[in-house]
Amino acid sequence: MEKKIPDFIGFWQSEASLHEGLFFLNIQNIEEGNKVRGDILDLLGLARFEGEMTKWKVSFCKKYFTGIPARLSLTSKEIVYDGEMTREGIYVGKYHIRGESSSGTFKLEPVPNPMPSTLKDFYLGLEQACLEGRPII
């Protein structure tokens, strides 16, 4: 059976340190009123998210599952994302870490279907490492 590909791929860049990265967003549940819930997979591991997604705006809060390495102190905090849809069909906006001064920008776009093989291989490898509890970074 073919594994489900993620619904969106996100890219972020911090404002202060100019770090950047990517994440994969999987919507698990869509509720009345545009409420969404699901999982986010990135180089820090697996996180849960809840928020709202409309044709024009996206807003969600990401919280990593416990067990993420303690040296990554930000992972114990919620990360809040707020963005708007562009004419190109991509959400763009800002994120901040709740209780911290850390913030940055992000963009979130639908994963192409079919997913390019190199991106799919990266995603599946990341997912497998996370499921096995292997260090990712």
Question: What does DSSP say about strands 91-97 and 35-42: parallel, antiparallel, or unpaired?
Answer: unpaired
Convert the pLDDT of each residue in 107-132 to its tens digit: 999 999 889 999 999 999 988 888 77
Domain that holds residue 106: 8-131
Tell which phi-psi region holds residue 70, choosing left (phi > 0), alpha (psi between -120 and 50) or beta: alpha
Cβ-in-10-Å burial (0-12, 13-18, 19+) of 67 comes to exposed
Cβ-in-10-Å burial (0-12, 13-18, 19+) of 22 comes to middle
At 19 the pLDDT is: 85
Name the domain count of the chain. Answer: 1
- The two tokens of residue 24 are 């994969």
**What is the CATH number for 22?**
2.40.128
Q: Is residue 89 part of a domain?
A: yes
Q: Is residue 69 part of a domain?
A: yes
